Structure 1
Amino acid sequence: MNFTPSKKLLDLSNDYGSKLSNKRLIGIFLTALILFLPRLVNYNIFVSILAFFAIVPFWIYYFNWKSAESKKIKEIHEAEYEISRIIIEIDKIDKLKNSGLMSGEDYLQKKDEYQRMYDKYKGFIE
């Protein structure tokens, strides 16, 4: 059994960087707007408050998006780790079977158990 990182994980990783940089640029622009807009209108406090409340929803969205993407990537990494662990276990029981240290019935039972776990995690990644 060969295992390579899933296309979904690679797509998320590539997408993550581009979305993050776009949101950073928007955040920098809006923060600069908050800092310099009051100077343009003679330090009107009302405009400063208005600009502040205009940027708060963006930052809330940005941090929620970032944590959701991180959680997805973390779950995929965990599933890939479990798959690699299962592959190692399957190789171990294959070696035990070939060396005669494991009976055929135990081998089939363990192999079936690990195959179900492998299919479950593989389905999660795809």
Structure 2
Amino acid sequence: MSTIFPAVQPEMEETTSALPLAQEVKWGYQAGTPVFSAGAPVIVTGAEAVKVWCWKALKTPRYRHDVYSWAYGSEAEDLIGQAFTADVKRSEAIRHVREALLVSPYVTGVGEISVEFTGDRLMVQCSVSTVYGEVDLNV
């Protein structure tokens, strides 16, 4: 049976846009502040830059600051005061970590995530696969 609509589809044009080299200001994780040298911020690139981005994304509450897009940050703070069981809180924290990190085009995957609740603090340890290799993250 013939049809008036041709079966030929137009060819899609292949576009491969390479990501620019990731750059961030070096971060002092213990102090939670940027690192400066001679009055100027120290710039890191590659895997270390992605690690800084991930650390800051997990520390930043999503939807709170107008300077960030709504895709940036973590919703783990929403677990505070919820009457969930420990297993549900752990599961939700892991989900929030994955969602926060996988927004970045430089992050290709998130490995085993370990979460620990100590009082009102959430401690996260995980390995993050980036386009530059794997980094370990402790937040």
Q: TM-score, normalised by structure 1?
A: 0.28
Structure whose CA Rg is larger: 1
Is the strand fraction higher in 1 or 2? 2
Higher relative contact order (CA 8 A, sep 6+): 1
